[in-house]
Structure 1
Amino acid sequence: MQRIAFKMILNEGQKEIYKKRHDTIWPELKKLLKDNGISEYSIFLDEDTNTLFAFQKVTNGAGSQNLVSNPIVKKWWDFMSDIMKVNSDNSPVTIPLKEVFYMD
């Protein structure tokens, strides 16, 4: 099991809609993530900076970042593109984070 983390940027004033969309995450997206080795996925918000911190437990080096060509993922990106900082293909701008400490 590997742990990966990355940051994303939420647009100002979009906290409630972001949470609502994730509270009702599409079942097909959730299944896709689990079927591709993502056993845990958490996203935290720093409200002072609108920075989203994402954490995933993955197997075989998999992760949501490896599903970029999947139509379900692309549809989700389009759905989320109005409330967060995105690239030209509507994928969220992500900044990988390096783990510097872990305690089990």
Structure 2
Amino acid sequence: MIRKASVMTVFREHHDEYRRRHDELWPEMEGMLREHGMLSYSIFLDAETDRLFAYLEIEDEERWARSADTDVCRRWWAYMRDIMETNPDDSPVSRELKPVFHLGR
């Protein structure tokens, strides 16, 4: 199992909409994430800074990287571009965090 974390930004006026869209995650998006080795995925919001902290556990880096090339992922990115910072290809502006400490099994 591989742990990954990143930070993104949601626009202040869209905190509730961001949550709503994830509460109604498309079944085909969830299926694609699982097919690409996602074991667990959590996103937390710091409402004071508009920063999102994403934490996920995956099975394999290469398999996970291929998820970005799927049609459903590209459609999700386009769906989210109006409520968060995105790159020209609609992917979220994201900064990967480096692990510095873990205490667990």
Note whether the superposition's TM-score is higher than 0.5: yes
Letter in 1 for 2:50: N
Look up the match of 2:10: 10
Q: Distance in 2 between matches of 1:12 and 1:2?
A: 31
Look up the match of 1:41: 41
Q: Per-residue displacement from partner, 1:40-96 (whole Å, max 9, x unpaired)?
A: 000000111100000000002243x54222110000001000000000111100100
Q: CA deviation at 1:12?
A: 1.6
Give the length in aligned residue pairs. Answer: 103
Look up the match of 2:56: 56
Q: Give the gaps of 5 or more residues in structure 2.
A: none
SS at match of 2:89: coil
* Structure 1 runs of 4+ with >2 Å offset: none
Q: Give the gaps of 5 or more residues in structure 1.
A: none
Contact kept? 2:32, 2:67, Cα under 8 Å: no
Q: CA deviation at 1:34?
A: 0.6
Q: Distance in 2 between matches of 1:58 and 1:88?
A: 26
TM-score normalised per structure 1:
0.95
Look up the match of 2:31: 31
Report percent identity of matched pairs.
37
Look up the match of 1:22: 22
Q: Distance in 2 between matches of 1:23 and 1:103?
A: 30
TM-score normalised per structure 2:
0.94
Letter in 2 for 1:79: Y
Q: Distance in 2 between matches of 1:101 and 1:13?
A: 33
Q: CA deviation at 1:13?
A: 1.2
